[in-house]
Amino acid sequence: NLLWSDEFNGDSLDLTKWTFINGNGCDVGLCGWGNNELEWYTPSNTKVADGKLVIEARKFSTDGSPASYTSSKIMSKGKADFGSRRYEASLRLPFGHGIWPAFWMLPSFGTYGGWPHSGEIDIMENIGKEGTNTVHGTVHYGLDWPQHQYAEAGITISSEQSSLNETYHTYSVERLPGIIRWYIDDIHYSTITKKEMKPYHWPFDEDFYFIFNMAVGGNWPGNPNDDTSFPQTLEVDYVRVYE
């Protein structure tokens, strides 16, 4: 049963469901968002039109932001927070070296403490240097660095399927007590269980909220190169929660 959704059928972002995250993280003590990212997040890089959400990454911004790249980041914290459910989004991804789109979740209340104690669920991440057919699903947990832990699985779709930046594909996580499963186009490709995480605690039975963003540069994807074109767009047809 469909519990909650945003079909992006209006002409602007529904601020009863979403909040913009602005800047480069320095205001919360995480310059470069803790990953040496290069972008400055601004609401002006988000639009809703033709039944979809579009997040755009641009080079050489002219809106006065103190960065060479701008993008957008939105979250549902305090407006759409969910426990054990199935989450799904239909996305068309950008492509380019140094481009890092993500559909992910963070804990609503930080019950077990700051990151990564209370967990992080990455439903979909893609880094352009790996090509147009590979995505990753990950959880972060454990203790403060260097005891931060993560479990990650990537999947590369068949070359016979349309590339992830050419058409829309669905990315899903099924979260049940003590277990998380990842899917692309309803194909199950990864599972993690509470038992596998021992001796660390399992923080994933609490409420989490959604985040959509597109980073530029960073430790994992590397920085844009001469072959990276701008603007880049992450398109979201819908996001849905099922019970």
Residue 192 exposed, middle or buried by CB count within 10 Å (0-12, 13-18, 19+): buried
Assess contact for 75 and 18: CB atoms under 8 A. Answer: yes
**What domains are there in the chain, each with its CATH number?**
2-242 (2.60.120.200)
Classified as helix, coil or strand, 146 is coil
Q: Rounded distance, CA 17 to CA 27, Å?
A: 23
- Pairwise CA distance, residues 208 & 20, whole Å: 17
pLDDT tens per residue across all 243 residues of the chain: 999 999 999 999 999 999 999 999 999 999 999 999 999 999 999 999 999 999 999 997 666 666 789 999 999 999 999 999 999 999 999 999 999 999 999 999 999 999 999 999 999 999 989 988 999 999 999 999 888 999 999 999 876 678 999 999 999 999 999 999 999 999 999 999 999 999 999 999 999 999 999 999 999 999 999 999 999 999 999 999 999
Least Cα distance to 40 among 65, 75, 62 occurs for 65
| Cα→Cα distances 5→1, 87, 240, Å | 11, 10, 4
| Beta-carbon contacts of residue 67 (< 8 Å; ≥ 6 apart) | 24, 38, 39, 40, 61
Cα separation, 56 vs 213, in Å, equals 9
Could you give the CA distance from residue 91 to residue 213 in angstroms, rounded to a whole number? Answer: 12
Which residues are catalytically annotated?
120, 125
